[in-house]
C-alpha cells in the first residue's frame, strides 16, 4: 500500500510539474501577478506542489486493505467488519463456501459487466445486514472460470445460495435486495429448525 501511495505521489509531482511548466512557458505573464504562468521554472515548481498535494490526499483516503485475493469468514475483503468476501481460488471457494457453517450468498460477476457493478452495493448491504449470520461472497468468473463452470454459470450477475455445502438457490440478473434477503431468511430459518431437531449429545 505504501508503495502504491509513493508511486501515486511521484506521478502527481511529475504531471503537476509538467503542466505547470507548460503553463509558465505559454502563459508568459509579464506582470508577475500570476506566479504559475510567470515563467516555466516557477510554473513547474508550483504545478508539482499542487499535483503532489492532490496525489497525496487521494492516496491517503484509500482504505488500508483494498481487496484480499483469498479471505476467510473472519478476514473480510476491504478491511471492513461487514465487507463482502472476495474468493481468490477454487480451494478458497471449497473452504469458505462449501464448508461454511452458515448460509452463503455468492455473487458471480466480472469487472466488465455493468449490471454486476449495479449489484455490488446490494451485496455490501446484505453483508452488513447478515453479518455473523450468513456469508456474502464474490467470485470473479474471469479469474475463477473453473468454479463458474462447475455451477453452469452462463449469465452474470448470477447469485447462488449454498447451505451445508450444497447449492440450494440460483437467481440471475439484478434483483431487489429483499429478494436476496428472503432466500437468506428462509435458509436461516431452515438451519435453526434443523439444529432444534438434531439429537443432543448425552
> Which residues belong to the active site?
113, 116
Rounded Cα distance, 86 and 135, in Å:
11
Please give the grid coordinates belonging to residue 83: 465487507
Tell me how far CA of residue 178 lies from CA of 81, 122, 138, 188, in angstroms. 22, 10, 19, 15
Rounded Cα distance, 78 and 96, in Å:
17
DSSP state of 64: S
Instruction: Judge contact between 136 and 123, C-beta under 8 A.
Output: yes
Rounded Cα distance, 137 and 108, in Å:
9
* H-assigned helices in the chain: 2-27, 40-60, 90-93, 114-129, 145-150, 177-197
DSSP state of 193: H
Amino acid at each position: 500500500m505504501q508503495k502504491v501511495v509513493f508511486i501515486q505521489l511521484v506521478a502527481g509531482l511529475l504531471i503537476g510539474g509538467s503542466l505547470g511548466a507548460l503553463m509558465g512557458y505559454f502563459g508568459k505573464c509579464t506582470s508577475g501577478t500570476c506566479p504559475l504562468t510567470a515563467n516555466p521554472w516557477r510554473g513547474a515548481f508550483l504545478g508539482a506542489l499542487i499535483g503532489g498535494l492532490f496525489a497525496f490526499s487521494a492516496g491517503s483516503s484509500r482504505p488500508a486493505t483494498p481487496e484480499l485475493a483469498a479471505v476467510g469468514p473472519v478476514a473480510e475483503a476491504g478491511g471492513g467488519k461487514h465487507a463482502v468476501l472476495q474468493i481468490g481460488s477454487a480451494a478458497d471457494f471449497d473452504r469458505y463456501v462449501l464448508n461454511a457453517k452458515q448460509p452463503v450468498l455468492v455473487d458471480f460477476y466480472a469487472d466488465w459487466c455493468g449490471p454486476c457493478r449495479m449489484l455490488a452495493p446490494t451485496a455490501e448491504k446484505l453483508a452488513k445486514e447478515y453479518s455473523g449470520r450468513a456469508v456474502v461472497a464474490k467470485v470473479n468468473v474471469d479469474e475463477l472460470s473453473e468454479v463458474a463452470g462447475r455451477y453452469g454459470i452462463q449469465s452474470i450477475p448470477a447469485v447462488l445460495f449454498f447451505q451445508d455445502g450444497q447449492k440450494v438457490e440460483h437467481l440471475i440478473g439484478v434483483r431487489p435486495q429483499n429478494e436476496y434477503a428472503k432466500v437468506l431468511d428462509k435458509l436461516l430459518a431452515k438451519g435453526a429448525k434443523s439444529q432444534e431437531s438434531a439429537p443432543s449429545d448425552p
